[in-house]
């Protein structure tokens, strides 16, 4: 990746509707050894947009999401969060560790697996980072956590340990934990893939409520009906490249790519 200078907040380009750009990825490449997973992908999301990545296994969806949060180091390309470009060395690694830590704090990540600390209660899981990383007063962090647990329907579970929660409850707790960081955007990597079918709906309902309130989101999912209903923009990835993208009604109602047509047929 090229070394870049952070853009001033005032230089963020808004859309015709006046919305600022929350996330921009330009010509992103990512290789694992000789295997190139991403081959030059560019996406963007305005503030309040829900951009959903779809595609088959191995298409690069999750890798793209992990690169945005620098859980994976891009091989080349540019990543800007809120108009600020992540400064990188020639090998793609961040050159300013403090910058990357600050930017990561502005991105709430929800994984396929719930990644809750099993030795801590639900409430303790939610306040751990705000108190010990963000240095918020504990009383303030607890009050925020309780509001968010109520928001995701887990107010009665604050003293429970993850082992005593269903998969759906654990994932809702993980969403509340990410929200405790007051993130600029939420990144969801197949948030329902590890759930039993009867539990999927409760997690999707929480994500839908976040979309309804105008949360910026990048979402990787196999739930096509949900993607069509909740997204502002759909990106179909195939073999590390964008095969087709556009508004949900266009991609689902009148797909142009033969590969996309076949993919939608296979998941319907």
255, with CB counted inside 10 A (0-12, 13-18, 19+), is buried
Tell me how far apart the alpha carbons of residues 145 and 230 are, in angstroms, rounded to a whole number. 26
Question: What does the block give as tokens for 2?
Answer: 């090229």
Which tokens go with 87?
């400064």
Quick one: pLDDT at residue 17?
A: 55
Report whether pLDDT(6) > 90: no
Does 260 score more than 70 pLDDT?
yes
Question: What radius of gyration do the chain's Cα atoms show?
Answer: 19
Per-residue pLDDT at 5 exceeds 80: no
Q: What is the mean pLDDT of the chain?
A: 91
The pLDDT tens digits of the residues spanning 72-106 come to 999 999 999 999 999 988 777 888 989 999 999 99
């Amino acid at each position: 990746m090229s070394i870049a200078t952070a853009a001033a907040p005032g230089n963020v380009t808004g859309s015709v509707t006046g919305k600022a750009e929350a996330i921009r990825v330009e010509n992103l490449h990512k290789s694992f050894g000789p295997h190139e997973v991403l081959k030059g992908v560019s996406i963007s999301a305005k503030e309040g947009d829900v951009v959903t990545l779809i595609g088959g296994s191995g298409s690069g969806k999750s890798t793209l999401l992990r690169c945005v949060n620098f859980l994976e180091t891009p091989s080349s390309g540019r990543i800007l969060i809120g108009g600020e470009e992540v400064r990188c060395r020639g090998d793609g690694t961040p050159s300013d560790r403090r910058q990357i830590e600050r930017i990561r704090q502005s991105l709430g990540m929800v994984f396929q697996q719930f990644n809750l600390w099993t030795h801590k209660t639900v409430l303790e899981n939610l306040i751990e980072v705000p108190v010990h990383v963000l240095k918020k007063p504990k009383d303030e962090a607890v009050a925020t956590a309780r509001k968010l647990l109520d928001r995701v329907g887990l107010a009665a579970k604050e003293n429970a340990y993850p082992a005593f929660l269903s998969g759906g409850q654990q994932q809702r707790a993980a969403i509340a934990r990410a929200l405790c960081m007051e993130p600029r955007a939420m990144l969801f990597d197949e948030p329902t893939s590890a759930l039993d079918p009867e539990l999927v709906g409760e997690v999707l309902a929480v994500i839908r409520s976040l979309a309804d309130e105008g949360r910026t989101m990048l979402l990787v999912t196999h739930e096509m009906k949900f993607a069509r209903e909740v997204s502002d923009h759909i990106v179909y990835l195939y073999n590390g490249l964008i095969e087709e993208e556009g508004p949900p009604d266009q991609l689902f109602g009148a797909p142009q790519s033969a590969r996309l047509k076949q993919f939608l047929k296979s998941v319907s």
